Every structure is written in C-alpha cells, then in structure tokens.
Amino acid sequence: MKLCLAAVLVACLAAAANASAATMTVTPRESCYSSGETVTLAGEGFTPNGKVSIARDGQTLDPLLNLNPTGAFTGDLTLYLRSGKANRTYTATDTTDPTIVATSRLLVVAPSVTIRPADLDVGLRARIGAKGFATGRTLYAHVFRTADRNGKALKGQKPRNLRIGSLKTRCGKLLARRKLFSKRAPLGDYTIQFDTYRRYKEKRPVRFLYAAPVTLERRNGR
C-alpha cells in the first residue's frame, strides 16, 4: 500500500514537472498590442517532434504547430479584437500530452478614430481622437478622393499624407486639432486611412478607415 501511494506521488510530481516545464514567449515584448498586429510565439518544453495547439481565450486556432526534436516551436500569430480593449489569454497545449501547457496574457486594443464635427467643411480644423495604435509613435492620415461632386467614382487618386501628431500612453492614444482639407480641396467624397506610417499603403495590418466617406460642401457662397 505504501509502495502504491509512493508510485502515485511520483507520477503526480512528474506530471506537475512536465506541466511547469513548458514556456511560451511573445516577440516583440510590449505592454500593449494593436488588433491586426502580428507577433511571434516561441515555446519550449513540449513533446519532441509532436504538435501544439494554440487557443485564444479558450478558442482553438488553426493550424497546429509542429514541434522540433527538442520540443520547441515558433509561429506567427495575428492578434484580433473587434472593438475596445481586452486582456487576451493565449494558450499552447501539447497534443501528445495535454497536461503540458504554457500561457501568455496580452493586452490588445482595437484601433479607432473619432472626428468632430462629423460633417467636415473645407478649410476648418477638426477635433481628432484616436486610440489603439500601438505600432508606432506618430499617427498619420492618408486622405484620398473617391468620388467627384456629382458622385462619379474616381480611381487611382494619389492620397495626401498628413502628420496628425504624437501618440501617447502604451496603447497609442491621441487628441489633436488638425485641418484635414484645405480651402482648395476639390468637392466630392473622401476616405481617410489612419495608421502609423508616413506613406500610404493600402491594407496596412494596423489601420482605421474613417467609417463614412467625407462629403465636402462649400457654404455661404464660398
């Protein structure tokens, strides 16, 4: 009976040692991340030549990652959050021995921008509020015309690249007043892409497209 108990104790201790031996790190190491940002996961202490599954808040993600002969893995992970801010828990589980688990918690924020007044006029300064841009130190706006004053769609328009201001706090917040359209801006519909890059590129991983195209109107005979 004592031998049986001893054997059970040894088995339990071995299982605990296996479970605690696994680790997972995230690169780059930041205190806050933007939704859409890609990070690198690296783990070790798992079953050699096996596989691990990665889960986000308990939801398993595809695909499984292969382990090398030393029981380590690396893989890229694109962070996702529809809106707001949340602490996400990412878990790596050994598929050969599910007791071998490693976790990492990341603070993830969805990029967003508000503009006031929403009905922009040419030549006037707008109040701009932004948050969730943790991928750089400066916020830029890329303004491009999508339709003329009669609603005809325009293609191949070159955007204007504007520096909005410096991002503050670990999660990239900003409050600023900027003139997004000069008095000489042609009338029509515009779209504004906000990101942390000086030059415009379509579909930046971390960006915010102003929700509705901006329709410019000259008032009072201007």
pLDDT in tens, 132-176: 999 999 999 999 888 888 889 998 889 999 999 999 999 999 999
Give the C-alpha distances (Å, rounded to integers) separating 33 from 103, 107, 182, 207: 17, 6, 34, 13
Instruction: Looking at the structure, tell me whether residues 166 and 118 fall in a common domain.
Output: yes
Instruction: Looking at the structure, tell me whether residues 174 and 93 fall in a common domain.
Output: no
Q: Is residue 120 part of a domain?
A: yes
Instruction: Looking at the structure, tell me whether residues 99 and 182 fall in a common domain.
Output: no
Of 69, 86, 109, the residue at which a domain comes to its end is 109
- Identify the H or E element spanning 5: helix 2-21
**pLDDT on residue 218:** 53
Instruction: Looking at the structure, tell me whether residues 87 and 122 fall in a common domain.
Output: no
Instruction: Looking at the structure, tell me whether residues 92 and 140 fall in a common domain.
Output: no
Whether the Cβ atoms of residue 112 and residue 131 lie closer than 8 Å to each other = yes
**pLDDT on residue 142:** 96
**3-state DSSP call for residue 170?**
coil
Q: Is residue 211 part of a domain?
A: yes
Q: Tokens 């603070």 — which residue?
A: 107
Q: What are the tens digits of pLDDT across the range 189-199?
A: 889 999 999 99
Domain of 162, CATH number, reads 2.60.40
Q: Is residue 100 part of a domain?
A: yes
Q: Is residue 207 part of a domain?
A: yes
Structural domain boundaries enclosing 91 = 20-109
Instruction: Looking at the structure, tell me whether residues 122 and 102 fall in a common domain.
Output: no
Q: Is residue 146 part of a domain?
A: yes
Instruction: Looking at the structure, tell me whether residues 129 and 204 fall in a common domain.
Output: yes
The separation between the first and the last C-alpha atoms of the chain, rounded to the nearest angstrom, is 96
Domain total of the chain: 2
Summary mean pLDDT of the chain: 86
Q: Is residue 221 part of a domain?
A: no
Domain of 47, CATH number, reads 2.60.40.10
Q: Is residue 222 part of a domain?
A: no
Instruction: Looking at the structure, tell me whether residues 172 and 95 fall in a common domain.
Output: no
Instruction: Looking at the structure, tell me whether residues 67 and 92 fall in a common domain.
Output: yes
Compute the residue count for the chain: 222
Question: Quick check: pTM over 0.95?
Answer: no
Of 64, 90, 109, the residue at which a domain comes to its end is 109
Q: What are the tens digits of pLDDT across the range 11-39?
A: 333 444 444 589 999 999 999 999 999 99
Of 70, 89, 109, the residue at which a domain comes to its end is 109
Q: What are the tens digits of pLDDT across the range 63-116?
A: 999 999 999 999 999 999 999 999 999 999 999 999 999 999 999 999 999 998
> What contacts 87, CB < 8 A, 6 or more positions away?
105, 106, 107, 108
Instruction: Looking at the structure, tell me whether residues 91 and 153 fall in a common domain.
Output: no
Q: Is residue 5 part of a domain?
A: no
**pLDDT on residue 20:** 54
Q: Among residues 194, 185, 177, 179, which one has the least CA distance to residue 216?
A: 185
Q: Among residues 195, 153, 200, 144, which one has the least CA distance to residue 174?
A: 195
Whether the Cβ atoms of residue 45 and residue 22 lie closer than 8 Å to each other = yes
**pLDDT on residue 156:** 85
